[in-house]
Amino acid sequence: MRVCVVGSGGREHALAHVLGHHHDVVVAPGNPGIPGSVDMPPSEIDADLFVIGPEAPLVDGLADRLRAAGQLVFGPGADGARLEGSKAWMKEVLVEAGVSTAAHGTFSDEAAALAFLDTMDGLFVVKTDGLAAGKGVVVTTDRAEAVDAVRSYLSGDAFGDAGRTLVIEEGLTGPELSVLAICDGHDAVALAPAQDFKRLGDGDAGPNTGGMGAYSPVPLATSATVNDLMDTAVRPTLAALRARGIDYRGVLYCGLMYTPTGPRVLEYNVRFGDPETQVVLPRLTSDLGVLLAAAATGDLAGRADQPTFDDGAAVTVVCASENYPTAPRTGDPIQGLADASAIDGVSVFAAGVGDRDGCLVTTGGRVLTVTGQGPTVSEARRRAYEAVSVISWPGMQYRTDIAADPTR
- CA 67 vs. chain centroid, Å, equals 23
31 vs 269 by CB, closer to ligand GLY: 269
Q: Is the dihedral of CA 103, 221, 14, 25 positive or negative?
A: negative
List the one residue out of 385, 368, 367 whose CA is nearest residue 377.
Answer: 385
Q: Which one of residues 7, 9, 193, 273 is an interface residue with ligand GLY (CB under 6 A)?
A: 273
23 vs 91 by CB, closer to ligand GLY: 91
First to last CA, the chain: 40
Which ranges in 223-376 belong to alpha helices (H)? 223-229, 235-243, 277-280, 288-297, 300-303, 337-341
User: For residues 372 and 341, what is the distance between their CA atoms, to the nearest angstrom?
Assistant: 10
Residue 127, interface with ligand AMP (CB under 6 A)?
yes
Supply the DSSP string of 173-239, one letter for each residue: -S-EEEEEEEEESS-EEEPPPBEE--EEEGGGEEEE-S-SEEEES-TT--HHHHHHHIIIIIHHHHH
User: For residues 298 and 304, what is the distance between their CA atoms, to the nearest angstrom?
Assistant: 11
User: For residues 49 and 3, what is the distance between their CA atoms, to the nearest angstrom?
Assistant: 5
Q: How many residues bind ligand GLY (CB under 6 A)?
A: 8
Stretch of 34-42, 144-152, 257-265, 272-280 contacting ligand GLY, by CB under 6 A:
272-280
Considering only residues 199 to 228 of the shown chain, the ones binding ligand GLY according to CB under 6 A are: 210-211
140 vs 397 by CB, closer to ligand AMP: 140
Residue 276, interface with ligand GLY (CB under 6 A)?
yes
In angstroms, give the least distance from the CB of 46 to ligand GLY.
Answer: 29
Q: Which one of residues 6, 25, 113, 125 is an interface residue with ligand AMP (CB under 6 A)?
A: 125
Considering only residues 284 to 313 of the shown chain, the ones binding ligand GLY according to CB under 6 A are: none
- What torsion, rounded to 10 degrees, do the Cα atoms 79, 77, 87, 184 define? 110
Considering only residues 181 to 200 of the shown chain, the ones binding ligand GLY according to CB under 6 A are: 196
Q: Which one of residues 12, 55, 169, 274 is an interface residue with ligand AMP (CB under 6 A)?
A: 169
117 vs 250 by CB, closer to ligand GLY: 250
58 vs 348 by CB, closer to ligand AMP: 58
List the one residue out of 172, 345, 176, 343 whose CA is nearest residue 255.
Answer: 176
Could you tell me the strand order of the sheet in which 346-350 lies? 195-196, 213-216, 313-320, 366-374, 346-350
In angstroms, give the least distance from the CB of 179 to ligand AMP.
Answer: 13
Q: Which one of residues 12, 176, 184, 274 is an interface residue with ligand GLY (CB under 6 A)?
A: 274
Helix (H, G, I), strand (E, B) or coil at 328: coil
Amino acid of residue 118: D
In angstroms, give the least distance from the CB of 311 to ligand AMP.
Answer: 28
Q: Give the x/- contact pattern for ligand AMP in 187-226, rule: CB under 6 A.
A: -----------x---------x------------------
Measured CA angle at 15 (ends 61, 213), to 5 deg:
100
Q: Residue 55: which of ligand AMP, ligand GLY, none does it interact with, CB under 5 to 8 A by kind?
A: none
Residues that bind ligand AMP (CB under 6 A): 102, 125, 127, 137, 139, 169-172, 176, 198, 208, 255, 266-267
Residues that bind ligand GLY (CB under 6 A): 134, 196, 210-211, 269, 273-274, 276
